[in-house]
């Protein structure tokens, strides 16, 4: 068998990104050793606010050439509002990647694990285990619209939702493909066709058309209001949940919140065809309130590493990382402060890496 080598771009960013990314890398390297593949890293010293303070921009103009064609980008977190306003730091870095690399899937797991206090009463590990698939490029987040008659009595604003057949079909295809790999094989679609009477019926139509190519996958749809309520009331009924950009945005925060701390939640911004690199990062931001103190929970970053390996097709290594994470979470002395423990970032990261040795 030929040697498996994966080139990754590593960007740790700001705040706790600089503390949790090295732990993610430590675990990736341990998984690679165990499973006989190589992770070749290229670290980039941009897309952080110190870079902005020096250069007046978040990334060099040549960022695309510098990043080149890695298999993926392993990202920490960006943002340091004391130096750079958040819309500048985010639009100047992360959102550039998402757009320029056409990362049209935003993927987040929602899984309740042992050792993580659940904000929903009476739920135990195993009760909550689903994925949120968000369309990441069009929909409600469009640049079509404007403001007229500003400052007058006729002042008006409008912003149009844009759904293209290509954009809708490709996210639905991703969701159905994902459901096909799962035991329950169920897609739940977020709609609001009763109120948003043009684009949402179109979305529903495309869901029905896509479903006809997947006879082995069951599907249903919910209006977004009751769907959100069900995340809280009946999370056990979901397997793969797919939504437009806006609905998916909200669900992809609500879902992980229902399963515990933000410190463990991972995400992928994925270009499934692999024409461009995908980006894997924890859900959380740079956490200025705890940065530099070795307090951050590294598990969101480590779980993101597992998602990245899954994307590479290294499913055994990904499963081993998740098993190590689960084992560590069960151990009170390995829990970080956000989980009620007193372990520091490195202690937690090293323990997970050594479980893979
Ligand atoms: P945040 O996620 O950085 O922090 C929210 C709260 O959760 C804080 O109290 C923090 O201490 C805690 N927290 C976050 N991650 C944790 C971890 N791994 N372990 C333990 N506790 C953790 O969100 P916030 O404060 O709204 O934003 C701070 C900065 O991060 C802003 O500049 C924001 O724009 C940026 N941000 C960046 C994101 C990204 O890079 N994808 C995502 C969200 C925010
Ligand atoms: Mg969000």
- 64-81 pLDDT tens trace: 999 999 999 999 999 999
Q: Is 242 left (phi over 0), alpha (psi -120 to 50) or beta?
A: beta
| Total residues belonging to the chain | 357
Q: CATH no. for residue 342? A: 3.40.718.10
Residue 263 CB–ligand 1 contact under 6 Å: yes
Cα 291 to Cα 74, 296, 324, distances in angstroms: 19, 7, 25
Two tokens at 281? 């990062």
Within a domain: 206: no
Distance (Å) from CA 253 to ligand 2 centroid: 6
Distance of CA 12 to the CA centre of its chain: 16
Mean pLDDT (whole number) for 300-313: 97
Mean pLDDT (whole number) for 6-22: 98
Give the closest ligand to the alpha carbon of residue 108. 2
**What's the domain range around 281?**
1-108+264-357
Residue 161 CB–ligand 1 contact under 6 Å: no
Neighbours of 135 (CB within 10 A): 28
Mean pLDDT (whole number) for 301-316: 97
Q: Is the pLDDT of residue 91 over 60?
A: yes
Give the closest ligand to the alpha carbon of residue 261. 1
pLDDT bracket for residue 183 (50, 70, 90): very high
Beta strands in the chain (DSSP E): 4-13, 37-43, 72-77, 105-111, 129-135, 145-148, 156-159, 186-191, 218-223, 240-243, 266-270, 278-282
Distance (Å) from CA 286 to ligand 1 centroid: 5
**Residue 221: its pLDDT value, please?**
98
What is the SS3 assignment for 1? Answer: coil
Return the H-helix or E-strand segment holding 323.
Answer: helix 315-329
Q: Is the pLDDT of residue 6 over 60?
A: yes
**Residue 143: its pLDDT value, please?**
86
Within a domain: 243: no
Q: Provide, rounded to the nearest whole percent, the portion of the chain with pLDDT above 70.
A: 99
Neighbours of 263 (CB within 10 A): 26
Within a domain: 244: no
Residue 235 CB–ligand 1 contact under 6 Å: no
**Residue 228: its pLDDT value, please?**
98
Distance (Å) from CA 284 to ligand 2 centroid: 10
- Closest residue by CA, ligand 1 atom 31: 79
Q: What is the mean pLDDT of the chain?
A: 96
Q: Is the pLDDT of residue 300 over 70?
A: yes
Residue 100 CB–ligand 1 contact under 6 Å: no
Q: Is the pLDDT of residue 1 over 70?
A: no
Residue 95 CB–ligand 1 contact under 6 Å: no
pLDDT bracket for residue 147 (50, 70, 90): very high
What ipTM does the predicted assembly reach?
0.98
- Closest residue by CA, ligand 1 atom 6: 287
Residue 79 CB–ligand 1 contact under 6 Å: yes
- Ligand 1 atom at minimal distance to the Cα of residue 16: 18
- Residues contacting 63, CB < 8 A, separation 6+: 46, 47, 96
Distance of CA 170 to the CA centre of its chain: 18
- Please name which of 42, 4, 40, 10 lies closest in space to residue 23, comparing C-alpha atoms: 10
**Residue 244: its pLDDT value, please?**
98
- Please name which of 351, 118, 104 lies closest in space to residue 242, comparing C-alpha atoms: 104
d(CA 83, CA 91): 15
Distance (Å) from CA 295 to ligand 2 centroid: 23
Within a domain: 158: no
Mean pLDDT (whole number) for 234-248: 97
pLDDT bracket for residue 261 (50, 70, 90): confident
d(CA 253, CA 256): 6
Identify whether the C-beta of residue 159 lies closer than 8 Å to the C-beta of residue 284.
no
Q: How many domains does the chain have?
A: 1
Mean pLDDT (whole number) for 1-7: 85
Within a domain: 78: yes
Two tokens at 262? 């933000």
Q: What is the CA radius of gyration of the chain?
A: 21
d(CA 304, CA 264): 9
Q: Provide, rounded to the nearest whole percent, the portion of the chain with pLDDT above 90.
A: 96
List pLDDT tens digits, range 103-131.
999 999 999 999 998 999 999 998 999 99
Give the β-pairing of 129-135 and 240-243: parallel
Distance (Å) from CA 18 to ligand 1 centroid: 13
* pTM of the shown model: 0.95
Within a domain: 316: yes
């Amino acid at each position: 068998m030929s040697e498996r080598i994966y080139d990754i771009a590593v960007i740790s960013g700001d705040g706790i990104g600089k503390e949790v990314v090295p732990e993610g890398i430590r675990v990736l390297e341990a998984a690679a050793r165990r499973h006989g593949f190589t992770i070749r890293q290229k670290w980039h010293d941009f897309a952080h606010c110190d870079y902005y303070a020096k250069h007046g921009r978040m990334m060099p103009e040549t960022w695309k050439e510098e990043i080149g064609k890695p298999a993926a980008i392993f990202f920490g977190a960006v943002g340091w509002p004391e130096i750079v306003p958040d819309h500048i730091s985010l639009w100047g870095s992360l959102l550039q990647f998402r757009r320029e690399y056409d990362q049209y899937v935003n993927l987040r797991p929602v899984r309740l694990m042992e050792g993580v206090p659940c904000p929903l009463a009476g739920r135990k590990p195993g009760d909550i285990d689903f994925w949120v698939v968000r369309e990441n490029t069009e929909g409600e987040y469009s640049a079509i619209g404007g403001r007229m008659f500003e400052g007058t009595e006729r002042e008006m604003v409008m912003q149009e939702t844009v759904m293209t057949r290509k954009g809708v079909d490709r996210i639905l295809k991703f969701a159905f493909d994902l459901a096909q790999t799962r035991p329950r094989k169920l897609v739940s679609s977020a709609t609001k066709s009763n109120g948003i009477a043009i684009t949402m019926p179109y979305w529903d139509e495309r869901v029905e058309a896509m479903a006809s190519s997947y006879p082995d996958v069951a599907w249903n749809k919910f209006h977004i209001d009751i769907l959100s309520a069900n995340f809280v009331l009946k999370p056990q009924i979901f397997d793969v949940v797919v939504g437009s950009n806006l609905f998916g945005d909200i669900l992809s925060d609500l879902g992980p919140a229902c399963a515990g701390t933000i410190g463990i939640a991972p995400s992928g911004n994925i270009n499934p065809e692999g024409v461009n690199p995908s980006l894997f990062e924890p859900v959380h931001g740079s956490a200025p309130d705890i940065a530099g103190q070795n307090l951050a929970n590294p598990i969101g970053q480590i779980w993101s590493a597992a998602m990245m390996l899954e994307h590479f097709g290294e499913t055994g290594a990904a499963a081993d990382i998740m098993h190590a994470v689960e084992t560590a979470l069960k151990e009170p002395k390995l829990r970080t402060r956000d989980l009620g423990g007193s372990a520091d970032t490195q202690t937690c990261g090293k323990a997970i890496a050594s479980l893979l040795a």
